[in-house]
Amino acid sequence: MDNLWQHTCGETFNATSLTCSHTTEVLVIGGGFTGCSAALKAAELGADVTLLEAETIGHGGSGRNVGLANAGLWLPPDDVCNAMGQVTGARLNHVLAGGPDQVFAMIAKHDIQCDATRNGTLHLAHSAKGVEQLKARLTQFKQQGAPVTMLDQLETRKRTGSDLFYAALHDRRAGTIQPLAYAKGLARAATAAGVKLYENTAVLGLENTGEQWIATTADGTVKANSLLLATNAYHAHFKTLNLPTTSTVHYFQIATEPLTPQQLQTILPGREGAWDTALIMTSFRLDAAGRLLIGGMGAGGAVHSNWAKRKLAKMFPSLVRTEISHCWSGRISMTADHLPRIMKLAPNSYSIFGYSGRGISPGTVFGTATAQAILNSDPAGLPVPVCEDYSEWSPGLKSVFYEAGASAVHFSGAR
């Protein structure tokens, strides 16, 4: 009952571990969407690049997520402007509105076998209040010129196969992917572009001499002029580098056995990815084989998986006896204001973290832009202003609070 994506991955990339010492121009640590797209871009721009991944490509959030390649952040556009200021916020909104275009272009360019389906996503109102939230989002997206449409209850029922929702916002910019395959495909493209990529190579120590970075692994060292630390919620193993921490939100998913052709005629017949407006949200989508995936906040375990089975039956009564074949979870790096950060570690060296649950398109956009900033020695084109430091009040306590909240809701929910 493990991660479905490991079993349905159309990309077979793998790499050896580092067993020697060498010098490189740009060192990328972390093999998720951010690290792989940055390494790929830097190599395309002519740099000598090394990427070190502690486990295998996509071990972190990139190989565990729902696979909704959405436009923008989880926050609505106006909230982004309120938090960052009008000019900076509008710029980030604009850049991320084009995020799915960048993801799907990357998939096409490198022929990545990740079941890419661009039929849009459905943001579903779980209550009357949720309808009001969607109307506010609709207005804000329309101001951006985004191709979004509000669907009434009847149309929402037709598109989802469930009568649990009041309305939906259909965003045609978005789509679904097999996320692990997308990460591995980026790694394959990066390697083809000349990146020296090593798996099962945890960076244990990182030192900045003022002239260069020295990364130490179990069997080698890498010296580099510039660094991108792309370890996000999976930052681990380092004995000599403590980054500012963000809160951690766990998110889990279950997958059914493939649905029957008859069930697939009514359940998400348009193959959109879906999630709802609840604070402790629910997501669901089909995979290429017609399995239904349902996800929610929480680290997994009986309370959460029992809730997911009840929720499945509530949303789709015809699936009450459908077998569950996979169950897995992952960690999300959540900042206090739900905005991602690019933090300067030294000149031309950055750490990117805190996508707060929206990292497929943003990871691709931020990784690519940061590679350009490093090679141009100019951070002006980055999607967010670079910060020198980051701190938030008691992230550990907030993480416990998120998990307790999700457990409480799931213990009593969908009964």
Ligand X SMILES: Cc1cc2nc3c(=O)[nH]c(=O)nc-3n(C[C@H](O)[C@H](O)[C@H](O)COP(=O)(O)OP(=O)(O)OC[C@H]3O[C@@H](n4cnc5c(N)ncnc54)[C@H](O)[C@@H]3O)c2cc1C
Contacts with ligand X, 122-141, as mask; x by CB under 6 A: --------------------
Q: Which residue in 319, 322, 313 sits closest to 164, CA to CA?
A: 313
Contacts with ligand X, 285-324, as mask; x by CB under 6 A: ----------------------------------------
Residue 24 engages ligand X in binding (rule: CB under 6 A): no
Residue 357 engages ligand X in binding (rule: CB under 6 A): yes
In the chain, the N- to C-terminal Cα span, in Å, equals 24
Contacts with ligand X, 149-188, as mask; x by CB under 6 A: ----------------------------------------
Count of other CB atoms within 10 angstroms of residue 232 = 27
- Which burial class, exposed, middle or buried, applies to 103 when counting CB atoms under 10 A from its CB (0-12, 13-18, 19+)? buried
Q: At what angle do helices 86-97 and 77-84 cross, to 10 degrees?
A: 140
- Measured CA to CA in angstroms, residue 205 lies from 216, 236, 241 at distances of 5, 11, 7
| List of residues 6+ apart from 288 with CB closer than 8 A | 8, 115, 178
Q: How far apart are CA 37 and CA 186, in angstroms?
A: 6
Of 43 and 203, which has the nearer Cβ to ligand X? 203
Residue 218 engages ligand X in binding (rule: CB under 6 A): no
Strands 22-29 vs 221-229: parallel, antiparallel or unpaired: parallel
Residue 27 engages ligand X in binding (rule: CB under 6 A): no
Contacts with ligand X, 249-288, as mask; x by CB under 6 A: --x-------------------------------------
Q: How far apart are CA 288 and CA 295, in angstroms?
A: 17
Considering only the stretches 32-40, 166-174, 257-265, 378-386, report the one whose residues sit in contact with ligand X under the rule CB under 6 A.
Answer: 32-40
Residue 413 engages ligand X in binding (rule: CB under 6 A): no
* Cβ 113 to ligand X shortest distance, Å: 19
Q: Which of 26, 31, 41, 312 touches ligand X by CB under 6 A?
A: 31
Residues in the interface with ligand X (CB under 6 A) total 43
Residue 77 engages ligand X in binding (rule: CB under 6 A): no
Considering only the stretches 26-34, 89-97, 186-194, 308-316, report the one whose residues sit in contact with ligand X under the rule CB under 6 A.
Answer: 26-34
Q: Which residue in 226, 230, 229, 199 sits closest to 48, CA to CA?
A: 226
Q: Which of 52, 75, 84, 92 touches ligand X by CB under 6 A?
A: 52
Residue 234 engages ligand X in binding (rule: CB under 6 A): yes
Residue 358 engages ligand X in binding (rule: CB under 6 A): yes
Residue 326 engages ligand X in binding (rule: CB under 6 A): no
Considering only the stretches 9-17, 135-143, 325-333, 381-389, report the one whose residues sit in contact with ligand X under the rule CB under 6 A.
Answer: 325-333
The single residue listed with the structure tokens 């997911």 is 308
Q: At what angle do helices 179-192 and 33-44 cross, to 10 degrees?
A: 20
- Measured CA to CA in angstroms, residue 324 lies from 53, 302, 350, 398 at distances of 31, 13, 41, 31
Of 166 and 182, which has the nearer Cβ to ligand X? 182
Residues of this chain that bind ligand X (CB under 6 A): 29-35, 52-55, 59-62, 64-68, 70, 202-203, 230-238, 251, 330-332, 355, 357-361, 363
